[in-house]
Amino acid sequence: MSNSTAAYGALKDRFDRLAALQGAQAVLHWDRATMMPEGGARARAEQQAALSLIAHETLTAPEVSDLLASADATASELAEWDRANLAEMRRVHAHATATPADLVTRLSRQKSATEMIWRKARAANDYASLAPALDQLIELVREQAAAKAEAFGLDPYDALLDGYDPGRRAAEIDGLFAELEGFLPGLMQEVMEQQDAGPGALALEGPFPVALQEWLGREVMGFLGFDFAHGRLDVSHHPFTGGVPEDSRITTRYDETDFTRSLMAVIHETGHSLYERGLPEEWRGQPVGRARGMTIHESQSLLFEMQAGRSAAFISFLAPRLKAAFGGEGPAWEPDNLLRHYRKVGPSLIRVDADEVTYPLHVILRYRLERAMIAGTLRAADLPAAWNEGMKTLLGIVPPDDANGCMQDIHWPSGSFGYFPTYTLGALAAAQLFAAAKGAHPGLEDALAEGDFSPLVRWVREHVHGRGSRLTPDGILLAATEEPLGTAAFRRHIQARYLS
């Protein structure tokens, strides 16, 4: 065995260990969000900080640079997947070494502390109690952004963005978001006028017991292909998917007056889980076997929730099951009325409940605000006013309080800056992917009308999931759809669904 071959083998062993550490962190995070008693917060914060430091030291130890240099020397002799894996090792290592070890620990502790404060503050509509901790967290994130910016020769926000969506830059996002902002307000108005001219949605009479909603969610997860031998469904303050590919942890939240939101959140998170489960099994634990950034990840959740889950075909299949589950009677439970509920367009306060026409405007607002926070031109104390002004400008509404305004999302209190734009980039990608999948399988919507998602799952397993991180995010999309990321497919989708 040559020195370079041995070096690459040693790197693979190290990244396997790193993946195990990160998997443990993911399960601890899930437990903190779902099961952990409030009194365990301080101990859990220390546990997660310790694991973050161990993972950081595993990745940034001096010998890793030597191993990478040795493996690079004969990289051309490696097979294609191994070369891609080595390139990803270098990328991950570069991000890690750009952040000092002491900052990793400080960030982990502050993220845990701020998130726990956020939970109480949002419930009490008490932004003043959150602002000081959020300010401290923003300063640490800015410190990390500056360190990465210097290491990579990037703008600080671009350096953060690269961690969520490799290769993506704010300049590209600015162009795409300008296009969306150019046509979405007018399109929204046109759709609303058409909907107002037609029959309104008949009320769905509740209550809808949580136990029945949970049962229904599990049934729908089964239609999508979720494997309960490798995952579970629980409750948290904010829906998310965590765990590891072999042990997928999905969460949602319930409202006994409205089952529609929780059900679509479950479909959304199942899309994330299916992506993780579909990643190449032979590369588990290696960088090339991981999900390819959050634009692709969000494209998978939105592919299943928005494109397929709200299709007329699937709602026609779902309608009698909803009616039976909740004991519904009359025309309110017919597919056409359920479609009116799931496709109602109009300005709303809460991002996760927004329709697909207005949703990008919510994301554009967050993108602008977090860029200002990272640039240092917006402090936490001034966030509510900036938020309310942005909502008024983009959506024409102003939140009545901060719980329904700037405190509604967990992302900033958990330190996730640079994540938000990927939601809308993912929506653009999902529209392209669904169009390509339907082109490849003309009977796809007929299958959805039978509750059969397997043709769609097989297609994305081949064209997205199975590629892991061997290609760039745009490379995956281009190979799957023969188009670069853009707004055209999304615009066609909106026009066809709401105005045809």
Residue 2 binned pLDDT confidence (cut-offs 50, 70, 90): low
**Are residues 109 and 23 both part of a single domain?**
yes
**Nearest alpha-carbon partner for 360 in 176, 150, 104, 492:** 176
Q: End of a domain among 129, 155, 181?
A: 155
Q: Is the residue at 160 inside a domain?
A: no
Please give the residue range of the domain that contains residue 116.
3-155
Tens of pLDDT, residue by residue over 380-419, are: 999 999 999 999 999 999 999 999 999 999 999 999 999 9
On the CB side of 229, CA atoms within 13 Å amount to 1
- Phi-psi region at 232: left, alpha or beta (left = phi > 0; alpha = psi -120 to 50): beta
268 contacts 305 by C-beta, under 8 angstroms: yes
Distance in angstroms (rounded) separating the CA atoms of residues 310 and 314: 7
Distance in angstroms (rounded) separating the CA atoms of residues 347 and 361: 9
**Are residues 147 and 183 both part of a single domain?**
no
pLDDT score, position 5: 83
434: CATH: 1.10.1370.30
CB atoms within 10 A of CB 186: 9
Tens of pLDDT, residue by residue over 164-187, are: 999 999 999 999 999 999 999 999
**Are residues 179 and 101 both part of a single domain?**
no
Residue 238 binned pLDDT confidence (cut-offs 50, 70, 90): confident
Q: End of a domain among 111, 132, 155?
A: 155
Q: Is the pLDDT of residue 497 over 60?
A: yes
| Structural domains of the chain, count | 2
**Are residues 190 and 88 both part of a single domain?**
no
Q: Is the residue at 164 inside a domain?
A: no
**Are residues 277 and 343 both part of a single domain?**
yes
Active site residue 269: yes
Tens of pLDDT, residue by residue over 124-149, are: 999 999 999 999 999 999 999 999 99
Q: Is the residue at 232 inside a domain?
A: yes
Alpha helices in 246-382 (DSSP H): 259-278, 293-302, 312-326, 335-342, 359-375
**Are residues 370 and 419 both part of a single domain?**
yes
Distance in angstroms (rounded) separating the CA atoms of residues 284 and 113: 31
pLDDT score, position 353: 87
Q: Is the residue at 162 inside a domain?
A: no
59 contacts 96 by C-beta, under 8 angstroms: yes
Tens of pLDDT, residue by residue over 43-81, are: 998 999 899 999 999 999 999 999 999 999 988 889 999
Between 4 and 269, the higher pLDDT residue = 269
**Are residues 80 and 15 both part of a single domain?**
yes
β-bridge pairing 247-252 and 231-235: parallel
Mean pLDDT of 230-255: 94
Q: Is the residue at 165 inside a domain?
A: no
Q: Is the pLDDT of residue 206 over 60?
A: yes
Q: Is the residue at 161 inside a domain?
A: no
Q: Is the residue at 163 inside a domain?
A: no
Report CA-CA distances (Å) from 142 to 134, 155, 160, 319, 414: 12, 11, 9, 48, 14
Helix (H, G, I), strand (E, B) or coil at 243: strand
**Are residues 195 and 281 both part of a single domain?**
yes
pLDDT score, position 484: 96
pLDDT score, position 99: 94
**Nearest alpha-carbon partner for 433 in 320, 313, 309, 304:** 304
Q: Which of 269, 276, 356, 370 is catalytic?
A: 269
Q: Is the residue at 78 inside a domain?
A: yes
**Are residues 144 and 213 both part of a single domain?**
no
Please enumerate in sequence order all residues whose Cβ is within 8 A of that of 312, keeping only pairs 6 or more positions apart, or say none. Answer: 335, 339
Q: What is the mean pLDDT of the chain?
A: 96
Cα distance between the two ends of the chain:
64
**Are residues 151 and 176 both part of a single domain?**
no
On the question of a cis peptide bond just before residue 207, with omega within 30 degrees of 0, the verdict is yes
**Are residues 491 and 347 both part of a single domain?**
yes
**Are residues 107 and 195 both part of a single domain?**
no
213 contacts 356 by C-beta, under 8 angstroms: no
Please enumerate in sequence order all residues whose Cβ is within 8 A of that of 450, keeping only pairs 6 or more positions apart, or say none. Answer: 317
pLDDT score, position 500: 85
Q: Of all residues in the chain, what percent carry a pLDDT higher than 90?
A: 95
For 347, list phi and psi in degrees, rounded to 5: -60, 140
Q: Is the pLDDT of residue 1 over 70?
A: no
Please give the structure tokens belonging to residue 219: 């049934």
Contacts from 386-392 at CB under 8 Å and sequence distance 24+?
Answer: 390/365, 391/349, 391/365
Tens of pLDDT, residue by residue over 64-73, are: 999 999 999 9
Q: End of a domain among 132, 155, 178?
A: 155
| pTM across the whole model | 0.95
Which amino acid is residue 448, in one-letter code? L
